[in-house]
Amino acid sequence: MTNKINNSKGSLHGYWSSRISFILAVAGSAVGLGNIWKFPYIAGVNGGGAFVLVYILCVFLIGLPILVSEILIGRMGRRNPASSMEAMALQSSSSKKWAFVGLMGILSGVLILSYYSVIAGWSLAYIFESFSGTFVNANSTIVEESFFSLSSSWKITMFWHSLFMIITAYVVSKGVAEGLEKAVRLLMPLLILLLLILLVYSALEGEFIAGLSFMFAPRFHDLTADGILVALGHAFFTLSVGMGAIMAYGAYLPDNMSIGRISISVVLADTFIALISGLVIFPIVFANGLDPEAGPGLVFMSLPMAFGNLPGGIGLGVIFFTLLSFAAWTSAISLMEPAVAWAVEKFKIQRVTASFFICLIIWVFGLGTVFSFSLLSDFLLLGRNIFDNLDYLTSNILLPLGGLMIVIFASWVVNIDSLSIQLDKSRGIFFRLWLFLSRYIAPIGVMIIFFYSVNIFST
Ligand code: TRP
């Protein structure tokens, strides 16, 4: 990122050096634990097939237009998400109160990162667990016990959570583009390659047909109203939309780069990686008598079984969890960036100082998740532990709500001429499709799913 331009219309935090570095940063944000850890386990808990279908529909009809909206607002506003929305609102003679959406997003990012970091910490721990040979020839009892002994030990998980927060804050304190670009460019292709190798293993050694049918045969009676809400929430989570992360990145995008094609490639890549992960994991789950509804530990139990039974499995395990940790890292950076950019602008402090304090706050919140798998595992609110509540609140409520307001803001409030200048001057098919999805389909879709899940229709 270059830091030269600092006038009132420019970005205060610098610019991406090229189109490719922006694509990599957005893809690095989107592809993370959501694709490999979260998607398979929530698909498992929600019955597979029908859930996957709703998720895909939500990604393309709701998530994609919101992704485009976020980049647009970010690039037009050129500030942290709250100030960008405020600036665009004033410019469109609308209320300053829109800034509140940006603030809510900043808070969502802080809450999400607090638990994201704990799970990323598990992944770091599994690099060493794999290296130590624990999983060689492992059976289901061994992988289950290893997972529970890690997650229930708060001292160890707190250590890895702390380490992960430190390395995340370190990158954010430097400014996002430095280092990030190189990491993503190299690691993302490697991650895909390794997933494909695992896919071959699953196809040969796992119950592949059972896995395939679990993921793609729609069994609608397995899908509850809440499951639909979870699918919607995950569409936001996996694309990193609804809280301003992509808006913050869009603020550093030079004016001449096309937004449409970038967005579509990122969405396709993200969906592809999630589906491949599912196709790797479920055949292993079914072949080894693991429980598809095992919850957050699913990936940490199923993949080590595969590594344990493969030649060179120790090496593969180490590489896989290293790549997963990197994928989590590039996502975590984007969760933290809006809060840091906001603090820098609001309190006129240095990036390093802002990163330190925000990191500390997130770390403290993260202890809630650390303890919800150990000391406080019996502490339930609304039938869920702290981690589940945080995830439910952020993914299923705050992100869809934030996304709803962002997409309404972009398509109804912001001046349409400036939008078309940003997106497509000739107002071609992509522009019109984006406008239609953003004005009608995405907001109505989110509202229907919200109301449906609070059972308005069934009473
Ligand atoms: N999309 C990331 C993943 O799938 C997580 C993430 C990064 C995120 N930035 C975000 C989720 C912003 C919601 C909002 O792992």
Q: Give the phi and the psi of residue 15 in degrees, each rounded to 5.
A: -135, 160
Q: In sequence order, which residues have a C-beta less than 8 Å from that of residue 370 and are 6 or more positions away?
A: 118, 154, 157, 158, 161
Tell me what pLDDT residue 428 has: 86
Tell me what pLDDT residue 9 has: 61
The CA distance from 13 to 63, in Å, is 26
DSSP SS3 for 257:
coil
Q: Does residue 79 lie within any of the structural domains?
A: yes
Compute and round to an integer the Cα radius of gyration of the chain.
21
Q: What is the CATH number of the domain that holds 184?
A: 1.20.1740.10
User: Is the CB of residue 277 below 6 angstroms from any atom belonging to ligand 1?
Assistant: no
Do residues 334 and 248 make contact, with C-beta atoms less than 8 angstroms apart?
A: yes
**Which of 35, 123, 237, 324 to probe ligand 1 with, by most ligand atoms within 8 A of CB?**
237
DSSP SS3 for 384:
strand
Q: Does residue 68 lie within any of the structural domains?
A: yes
Handedness of CA 396, 399, 402, 405 (dihedral sign): negative
Q: What is the pTM of this model?
A: 0.92
Q: Give the phi and the psi of residue 54 in degrees, each rounded to 5.
A: -65, -40
User: Is the CB of residue 117 below 6 angstroms from any atom belonging to ligand 1?
Assistant: no
Place of tokens 């998607």: 39
Q: Which atom of ligand 1 is nearest to the CA of 108?
A: 14
The CA distance from 247 to 72, in Å, is 8
At how many degrees (to 10) do helices 313-347 and 351-372 cross? Answer: 130
Torsion of CA 223, 297, 364, 406, to 10 degrees: -30
Q: Which two tokens stand for residue 84?
A: 């960008």
Cα separations in angstroms, 42 against 46, 51, 115, 117, 425: 6, 9, 16, 18, 41
Q: Give pLDDT tens digits along the chain (459 positions).
A: 433 333 346 777 777 777 778 888 899 999 999 999 999 999 999 999 999 999 999 999 999 999 999 999 999 998 888 999 999 999 888 888 899 998 999 999 999 999 999 999 999 999 999 999 999 988 889 999 999 999 999 999 999 999 999 999 998 888 766 666 666 777 778 888 888 988 998 899 899 999 999 999 999 998 999 999 999 999 999 999 999 999 988 988 888 778 888 899 999 999 999 999 999 999 999 998 889 999 999 999 999 988 888 778 898 889 889 989 989 998 999 999 999 989 998 999 999 999 999 999 999 999 999 999 998 888 888 888 999 999 999 999 999 999 999 999 999 999 888 888 888 888 888 899 999 999 999 999 999 998 888 765 554
**Which DSSP symbol is given to 47?**
T
Q: Which atom of ligand 1 is nearest to the CA of 32?
A: 15
User: Is the CB of residue 331 below 6 angstroms from any atom belonging to ligand 1?
Assistant: yes
Determine which residue's CA is closest to atom 6 belonging to ligand 1. 240
The CA distance from 246 to 109, in Å, is 11
User: Is the CB of residue 400 below 6 angstroms from any atom belonging to ligand 1?
Assistant: no
Q: Give the phi and the psi of residue 153 in degrees, each rounded to 5.
A: -100, 100
DSSP H helical ranges for 240-312: 245-250, 259-287, 298-308
Q: Which two tokens stand for residue 86?
A: 């405020």
Count of domains forming the chain? 1
Tell me what pLDDT residue 93 has: 87
Q: Does residue 11 lie within any of the structural domains?
A: no
Instruction: Tell me which residue range forms the domain holding 90.
Output: 19-453
User: Is the CB of residue 29 below 6 angstroms from any atom belonging to ligand 1?
Assistant: yes
Q: Does residue 10 lie within any of the structural domains?
A: no
Question: How crowded is residue 47: how many other Cβ atoms within 10 Å of its Cβ?
Answer: 20
Q: Does residue 8 lie within any of the structural domains?
A: no
User: Is the CB of residue 395 below 6 angstroms from any atom belonging to ligand 1?
Assistant: no
Percentages of the chain per state (helix, strand, coil), in multiples of 5: 80, 0, 20
DSSP SS3 for 15:
strand
Q: Which two tokens stand for residue 383?
A: 């039938």
Tell me what pLDDT residue 7 has: 39
Do residues 385 and 377 make contact, with C-beta atoms less than 8 angstroms apart?
A: yes
Q: Does residue 7 lie within any of the structural domains?
A: no
Q: Which atom of ligand 1 is nearest to the CA of 239?
A: 1
Burial bucket for residue 216 (CB in 10 Å: 0-12, 13-18, 19+):
middle
Place of tokens 């927060």: 165
Q: Give the phi and the psi of residue 10 in degrees, each rounded to 5.
A: -90, 175
Place of tokens 């940490």: 300
End-to-end CA gap in the chain: 54
Tell me what pLDDT residue 60 has: 97
Give 381's strand partners: 384
Tell me what pLDDT residue 418 has: 85
Q: Does residue 6 lie within any of the structural domains?
A: no
Question: How crowded is residue 318: how many other Cβ atoms within 10 Å of its Cβ?
Answer: 18
From 92, 94, 162, 176, select the one nearest 124 (Cα to Cα).
Answer: 162
Q: Does residue 4 lie within any of the structural domains?
A: no
